[in-house]
């Protein structure tokens, strides 16, 4: 079903494009206004309502989104042309709606009730102030005990310490919980089971504020309950919300690829496969890479020593046929530091933190900034 009847494009930008805030609603149709207010509430936005073009200067031009009821099209015909105008109607058989949309310079024609979900998403976008999505890095162990969770935590801790908005997502329900690894298993905030029924759009700001904050980053982990699976639709909605607010998102992934993991991989920009430098680990990592590579195109390996005879990081890269992201250094005293409450990567002078800083620096250069 098409929820938007069509799109009319214009080259002239809105005067306040990118500004956060609620939409401007222009209508005298009480029933239509009730519906639009309900959709704004669902999107977490507080609109401004007028019967015509606002008399005060800048109201029409400054609103991030303008929703014009079909009943009000005649009254806004002389308003300044701008982007972000949606003409909203109900009559599916009224071909005149297209003429009225052109007359007011509308970008979109939307007919209710079919277009409700599209409109909620659009209102939520402007309310949150959508910008470039977060650089999303997935970390996967080539075999059990490879140290992928430790690396994921270290990458997130380093990213947050360097001033980026950072969210760490634990996508492995059997991994024991990244909040535990970060020393925050009792921290207040929601865990994955709270989002099990999520469908459609999840608000990025609401998601971030609901999660535990540990070491200057937000963490979505598992609780100690019996829930060990989240529906693919919920995974998709939650990760999309995490990415919308920019910065970096680090996802600790399991080695198996089910429907939920596939949804997570679909939103990952770059994958790091952590491979201990020994032959059995390389063989196991090859099977993991084969499954992950069906969904994720940019998969690189991070080799962890010590090295078995005849192996080095370049040889591991050659055997797996994957580009080398780097050598994950061995950091002595990591376990003892964790028992004292220090997270992986917490020692800014430690080799693991230096590896992570270098990784983010390379990622920023390759991606134009994180």
Per the structure block, which two tokens stand in for 336? 């003892």
Q: How confident is the model at residue 124 (pLDDT cuts 50, 70, 90)?
A: confident
- CA separation for the pair 251, 247 (Å, rounded): 13
- Residue ranges per structural domain of the chain: 6-128, 135-365
**Can you give the pTM of this predicted structure?**
0.74
Per-residue pLDDT, 130: 64
Segment 10-33 mean pLDDT: 67
Under a CB-based contact definition with an 8 Å cutoff, are residues 192 and 169 in contact?
A: no
CB atoms closer than 10 angstroms to residue 113 = 9
Per-residue pLDDT, 20: 55
Per-residue pLDDT, 57: 61
Pick the closest to residue 67 from 91, 95, 47, 96 (CA basis).
47
Q: Fold identical between 6-128 and 135-365? A: yes
SS (HEC) of 22-71: CCEEECCCHHHHHHHHHHHHHCCCCCEEECCCCCCCCHHHHCCCEEEEHH
SS (HEC) of 260-288: HHHHHHHCCCEEEEEEECCHHHHHHHHHH
Share of the chain above pLDDT 90, in %: 67
Per the structure block, which two tokens stand in for 146? 């490879």
In tens, the pLDDT along 135-173 reads: 999 999 999 999 999 999 999 999 999 999 999 999 998
* Bridge partners, residue 166, by sequence: 248
* Bridge partners, residue 253, by sequence: 140
CATH topology of domain 135-365: Rossmann fold (3.40.50)
| 6-128 classified as CATH 3.40.50.2300 | yes
Handedness of CA 48, 50, 53, 57 (dihedral sign): negative
Per-residue pLDDT, 367: 58
- CA separation for the pair 276, 136 (Å, rounded): 23
- CA separation for the pair 22, 45 (Å, rounded): 5
* Bridge partners, residue 270, by sequence: 137
- CA separation for the pair 51, 363 (Å, rounded): 49
Under a CB-based contact definition with an 8 Å cutoff, are residues 168 and 344 in contact?
A: no
- CA separation for the pair 347, 202 (Å, rounded): 35
Q: How confident is the model at residue 18 (pLDDT cuts 50, 70, 90)?
A: very low
């Amino acid at each position: 079903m098409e929820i938007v009847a069509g799109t009319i494009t214009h080259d002239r930008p809105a005067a306040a494009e990118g500004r956060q805030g609620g939409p401007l609603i222009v209508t005298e149709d009480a029933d239509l206004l009730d519906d639009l207010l309900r959709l704004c509430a669902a999107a977490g936005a507080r609109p401004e309502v007028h019967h015509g073009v606002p008399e005060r200067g800048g109201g029409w031009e400054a609103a991030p989104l303008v929703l014009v009821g079909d009943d009000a099209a005649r009254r806004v015909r002389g308003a300044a042309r701008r982007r972000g105008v949606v003409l909203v109607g109900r009559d599916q058989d009224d071909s005149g709606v297209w003429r009225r949309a052109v007359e007011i310079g509308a970008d979109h024609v939307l007919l209710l009730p079919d277009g409700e979900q599209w409109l909620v998403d659009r209102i939520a976008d402007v309310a949150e102030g959508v910008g470039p999505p977060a650089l999303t890095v997935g970390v996967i162990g080539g075999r059990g005990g490879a140290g992928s969770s430790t690396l994921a935590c270290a990458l997130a801790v380093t990213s947050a310490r360097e001033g980026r908005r950072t969210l760490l997502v634990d996508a492995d329900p059997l991994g024991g919980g990244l909040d535990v690894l970060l020393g925050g298993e009792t921290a207040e905030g929601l865990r994955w089971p709270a989002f099990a029924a999520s469908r459609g759009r999840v608000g990025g700001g609401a998601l971030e504020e609901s999660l535990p904050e540990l070491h200057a980053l937000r963490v979505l982990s598992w609780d100690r309950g019996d829930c060990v699976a989240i529906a693919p639709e919920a995974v998709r909605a939650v990760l999309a919300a995490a990415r919308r607010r920019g910065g970096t998102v680090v996802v600790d992934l399991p080695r198996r690829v089910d429907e939920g993991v596939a949804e997570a991989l679909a939103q990952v920009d770059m994958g790091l496969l952590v491979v201990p430098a020994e032959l059995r680990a390389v063989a196991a990592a090859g099977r993991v890479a084969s499954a992950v590579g069906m969904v994720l195109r940019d998969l690189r390996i991070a080799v962890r020593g010590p090295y078995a005879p005849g192996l080095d990081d370049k040889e591991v890269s050659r055997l797996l046929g994957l580009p080398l992201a780097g050598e994950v250094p061995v950091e002595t005293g990591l376990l003892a530091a964790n028992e004292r409450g220090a997270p992986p990567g917490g020692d800014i002078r430690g080799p693991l933190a230096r590896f992570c800083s270098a990784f983010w620096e390379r990622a920023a250069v390759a991606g134009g900034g994180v």
